[in-house]
Amino acid sequence: MTDLAELTAAQLLDGYRKGEFSPEEATRATLERAERIQPEVNAFVRLLADEALARARESTRRWRRGEPSGLLDGVPVTVKDILLLRGSPTLRGSRTISEQGSWDEDAPSVARLREHGAVFLGKTTTPEFGWKGVTDSPRSGVTRNPYDRTRTAGGSSGGAAAAVALGAGPLALGTDGGGSVRIPAAFCGIFALKPTYGRVPLYPASAFGTLSHVGPMTRDAADAALMLDVIGVPDARDWSALGPPPGSFTAGLGEGVRGLRVAYSPTLGGQVAVRPAVAAAVRQAVQGLAGLGAYVEEADPDFTDPVDAFHALWFSGAARVTQQLGPQQRESLDPGLREICRTGARLSALDYLAAVDVRMELGRRMGRFHESYDVLVTPTLPITAFEAGVEVPKGSGLRRWTGWTPFTYPFNLTQQPAATVPIGTDGAGLPIGLQIVAARHRDDLVLRAAHALYEAGIAAPVPSGLTTAGS
């Protein structure tokens, strides 16, 4: 018997088309999985069973008539609780936001999914206002890793990653301001793409400005390409949104990597200490790319760690998002968030503009780098998942989450497309991710390279989570 909760979006659509099963059956299966895993990992802040089944029944009727309404008709999807979903409160992991209100608008990406018939299962967990690289919040508690419940799922789209990994919907919408789809996807053994900034419109605008991207989190690159075909179109509410894409991202997946110029940077020029198991898995995957016909060269991008500039932009954004809160509300904030808000509030306009200067220079350097190389490959993270409920690994000596995410946040500064691909596990069975980065507007290259890894069996979802959830 086929377990519908374990199928990709593409497999579900194929089954609907052939009449092998219905959207209602698939939605029931994924809702049952979501309810089963929730006590184990805490991936959801809200499940929308009645609404999901109503949409699934409508989709089932359309498929039976042979009249699907869009590219994702009947496919279950989850939405991170940072993004607006009509009819459901968006509380952003914070006790400072009231559930009261009309909640009558969709974010652009959610609106596109609705237009294409997707079925919304629920809202997934986030740290407060998406501020850090792990997922716990005063409002919704700790989200745990699908492969070891004592460890973090990563963040800030941790609930989304855990849901996809454990079969609670094949598609998820996440946001990424410094690695927030890539970090949890790497820790949870799934695929995630941070598209070029503006490719997926965002509304309301993020307080973190043009660092914050919206992206798909899926089981493989093919599902992400399909999802990007749906959500990667302009929306009038986002003044910084890009124009229509030049073509279908799905259509270009099969072109492979033969002749692609790949720069492999294992440590960003010695700047990052990478755990041996992670380094070995990434190196083996890169060798696989070479075996598929890519021209691979070990080469490092020409930049030093831009963490101070990132902090100036990130901390000032955090201060801005909490600016209107009164003293009592501030006391209810995540203590780490409260601390960076104080730091951000002390920064001057000149401090902010100095960080923008660093950002522009970093973008120039990466633009020149990609004149020589089509894609850059690195580890997604130098480590695998650590203890749940803490911002940094215990005993690491690190102060902030950026200390263990040096491969992710630089490419939010540059607004480049970047994806993480699951390439195996460490000795403890924890997933390892490989990051693929391309020049701005070349999301197609990132997806092509990732898809080639899946087609060759070098990348694959990590299976253990599905079998151990709820055991």
Helix (H), strand (E) at residue 465: helix 464-468
Question: How long, in residues, is the chain?
Answer: 471
Burial class (CB in 10 A: 0-12, 13-18, 19+), 373: buried
* Residue 390 structure tokens: 């803490």
Give residue 49's identity as a one-letter amino acid code.
A
| Strand partners of residue 376 | 263, 437
249-263 b/e with 16+ CB inside 10 Å = b?
Answer: bbebbeebbeebebb
Catalytic residue among 22, 140, 180, 206, which? 180
Output the CA angle 180-38-332, nearest 5 degrees.
60
Decide if 132 is catalytic.
no
Residue 54: exposure state from Cβ atoms within 10 A (0-12, 13-18, ≥19) = middle
Reported for 82-85, long-range contacts at CB under 8 A and 24+ positions apart, including other chains, are: 82/126, 82/129, 82/130, 82/156, 82/175, 83/107, 83/109, 83/110, 83/173, 83/175, 83/214, 84/110, 84/203, 84/204, 85/110, 85/120, 85/123
Rounded-to-5 percentages of helix, strand, coil across the chain: 40, 15, 45
Cα torsion through 398, 404, 406, 412, rounded to 10: -110
| Inter-helix orientation angle 158-165/23-41, to 10° | 120
Task: Using alpha carbons, select from 254, 165, 256, 178 the residue that is nearest to residue 217.
Answer: 165
Q: Give the type of residue at 82.
A: I
- 180 catalytically annotated: yes
Query: Which amino acid makes up residue 348?
Result: S
Are 155 and 133 in contact by the 8 Å Cβ rule? The answer is yes
| Look-up of token digits 């497999």 | 11
Peptide bond just before 127 cis, omega within 30 deg: no
Closest of 124, 129, 139 to residue 41, by C-alpha:
124
80 is catalytic: yes
Torsion angles phi and psi, residue 304, rounded to 5: -95, 165
Catalytic residue among 80, 123, 132, 194: 80
Provide the annotated active-site residues.
Answer: 80, 156, 180
